[in-house]
Structure 1
Amino acid sequence: MASSLHCVVLFWLVAFGLTAADTKLDCGPDYMTLVWTDSRSQADPSLFRLGSCLPTSFTPREVVFSVDLSDCNFRRLVSGNELNYTNDLFYTSSPDSYVLPFSLPVVCSYQRPKDWSPRVYDPVFSTYGVEDLVFHIDLMNADFSGPAESPVFPLGSMIPIMARVEQVTHQPLVVLLEECVAATTPDLQLAVDVYTIITNKGCLVDSKTSRSRFEQRLETSVIQLLLQAFKFGGAQEVYIHCTMVAWDPNGLDETKKACHYVKDHGWVLLDNPMYSSLCDCCDSTCRSRKARSPGAGNGLVQKAVIGPLTITDLA
């Protein structure tokens, strides 16, 4: 339990003209209280979210979150001698607002307990109902609010792809895209040539040479990918083959992650940019930890195909 540990608070708020906001964070043994105050009342307080949680209370000038660290999709990460509970403060904005949407990290950091060790899944996965997980991956419209109306995309445009896992009766899981490639056939084994999009256990390598990127999560069970449409030889039809993984959100490491490349910043970890060092292996080899890596037969891994897509010339 964190109650016996020394607490360190880390929170920063510098974006989109909100530097005048006063923010107070209190990290308790197993809870946290965040108070966001802006005397200039630039933002609509009802539009704030802490992870998956709505404000506990708010006034025109103040937003309060008083939540347990077991709620709101807090992520637990261990780095060295620190045990960190991390989340994101979201502001979703509104169409007529001049305050832009933003996302900022919230971190409560404790001394790592001497007897702490990573959680390992019980090999009897049916105990947790994991065998019944249902994965989905779909082409979406531009704002991810519904399915795409057409599988035809102009060269250079953005292709919205959303993967999710249904987990109504399961422990909270984070969905990741471990591998994605493009091919000209629905059967990858028959493909003569493939184009790598995501590889190395979650590295969006296409983002190094394009505008492709992961979108900020609103739920751990959903991941949104914006893929820049590319020309794949002279083929009229393209299929996207992906491997999806459902994993413990507290167990992210070099083999279970979502990383994309940001110009002038390098590799960035989607779920917590403060731990982007997990992405350092994206330019080399991200090694598996066999003792903790699940196999394809236990329901945590699912392969899927999207397509056919048609990429058209702009002219």
Structure 2
Amino acid sequence: PQSKPASPETSRYTTHEVIIFHFSRSQISVRQEEPPFLEPLSWRFPEEPTKDEPHFPPNFELRTTVAPDSIKVICGDNSIRVEAKRDLLGIGVLVQTADAQILIFESELHGCGSQLLMSEEAFIYVFTLLYTPSPLGGSPIVRTIDFSVSIECHYRRKNDVSSDVLKPTWAPFSETNASEESLYFSLRLMTDDWQFPRSSTQFFLGDMIKFEASVEQFHHVPLRVTVDSCVATVVPNVDTVPRYAFLGNNGCMFDGQLTGSSSRFLPQSHKDKLQFELEAFRFQHGNSDVIYITCSLKATEAAANVNATNKACSFSSGWREASGIHHACSCCDTDCRAGTKSSLTVKGKQQHTLS
């Protein structure tokens, strides 16, 4: 049967719908049977970029590390002074104000955590300067590092001294922060009451010649002074004859034992001072009434024990030690250095002329 023609709008819609349907199926069929890409793709991922090696100029030199000259040390009589630049590391980064309000440090030699070391030649006071940086601003970073600097003050231990007090000479070490100074020994003639130095060196036979040996403490730990030996001669040379060694063997007063005199050490009430008295005498065949007395003084740490090599012994019906440690004198009739280890001591010589 003949259908009724559709309206233009309906016909247009229906035709359009059919075309779309068949076109889609046709295209799907064509794509499945005849792929449009028959040849392989020529595109590839690009190669990774390469970097040229750095080329230094002919005269280029890497910077080498140089020790900064940023700390100055002054070792005084009884204290140490350390002056530190704010650029402690020498890299142009200053120590923050929050890290160090002051960069000048002063301390007594036996304070601020110092250590005392001893060698045959010197007392050495060792300090450690520590620096710990704080974070920059509110960040967790720093641009300097924790570090420590070892600082040393050296003081000579051995000197030959005359009747005058030896003045210290300062000579800083070139490679370490250190300075040197001498100990002050003294051997003086004293008045009969031991109150003042004796101005006259003239004595009569039968007089008691009174001596006071001492060592100044200053910056050092407490020290004990002893008299190792004393020799009397008619000229200022201890190796001549006639000579009389009335004190020796590391602190044994032989005169009382040899001659029956009253020569003796007095009880030692202060460790840095030692008093002794010698009965006046003259050489039998001497042509001069002048006598030279040369004594060797020694200082050790006051805390060290009185022993065979550090003592002050007198003889009066037996050996007696000035501080009461009498067994230390048991070697006075033999050799007090036999079988003992050499102790670390400070020595000096003093000479007096008597007439």
Q: How does 1:193-232 map to 2 (within 5 A)?
A: 193-208=242-257, 209-232=260-283
Does the CA contact (< 8 Å) of 2:251 and 2:312 recur in 1? yes
Residue 304 of structure 1: aligned partner: 350
Using the alignment, how far apart are the partners of 1:124 and 1:138 within structure 2? Answer: 26
Aligned to 2:189: 139
Code of the aligned partner of 1:237 = V
Structure 1: which 5+ runs fail to align? 1-118, 311-315
- The one-letter amino acid of 2:123's match is S
Residue 293 (structure 1) shift? 2.5
Which residue, 309, 312, 319 being the options, matches 1:267?
Answer: 319
Equivalent residue of 1:127, what SS?
A: strand
Residue 307 of structure 2 is matched in structure 1 by 253
> Measured at CA, do residues 243 and 184 of structure 1 come closer, stay the same or move farther in structure 2, by a change above 3 Å?
same
Which of 121, 125, 132 is the matching residue for 2:122?
Answer: 125
Identity %: 33
TM-score when normalising by structure 2: 0.48
Residue 154 of structure 1: aligned partner: 204
* Corresponding residue number in structure 1 for 2:218: 168
The corresponding residue for 2:128 is none
1:184–1:239 contact (8 Å) kept in structure 2: yes
- Give the distance between the partners of 1:133 and 1:122, measured in 2 at CA: 15
Counterpart amino acid of residue 304 in structure 1: Q
Which residue of structure 2 aligns with residue 67 of structure 1? none
Aligned counterparts of 1:270 and 1:216: Cα–Cα separation in 2: 5
Matching of residue 237 in structure 1 with residue 290 in structure 2? yes
State the SS of the aligned residue for 2:194.
Answer: coil
C-alpha displacement of 1:202: 0.6
Q: 1:145–1:294: structure 2 CA closer, same or farther, 3 Å change rule?
A: same
Inter-partner Cα distance in structure 1 for 2:117 and 2:338: 15
Give the Cα–Cα distance (whole angstroms) in 1 for the partners of residues 256 and 123 of structure 2: 37
User: Is the contact made by 1:121 and 1:292 (CA closer than 8 Å) also made in structure 2?
Assistant: no
Q: Work out which of the two has the higher radius of gyration on C-alpha atoms and give 1 or 2.
A: 2
Q: Distance in 2 between matches of 1:305 and 1:204?
A: 17
2:190–2:198 CA contact under 8 A, matched in 1 = yes
C-alpha RMSD of the superposition:
2.2
Number of positions where the alignment pairs a residue of Structure 1 with one of Structure 2:
182
Which is richer in strand?
Answer: 1
CA change 1:291–1:120 in 2 (3 A) is farther
Greater length-normalized contact order (CA 8 Å, ≥ 6 residues apart): 1
> Which residues in structure 2 correspond to 1:73-88 (within 5 Å)?
none
Q: Which TM-score applies when normalising by structure 1?
A: 0.54
- In structure 2, the CA distance between the partners of 1:156 and 1:124, relative to structure 1 (3 Å rule), is closer
C-alpha separation in 2, matches of 1:127 and 1:289: 28
* Unmatched 5+ stretches in structure 2: 1-115, 126-153, 157-181
Contact kept in structure 1, 2:282 and 2:289, CA below 8 Å = no
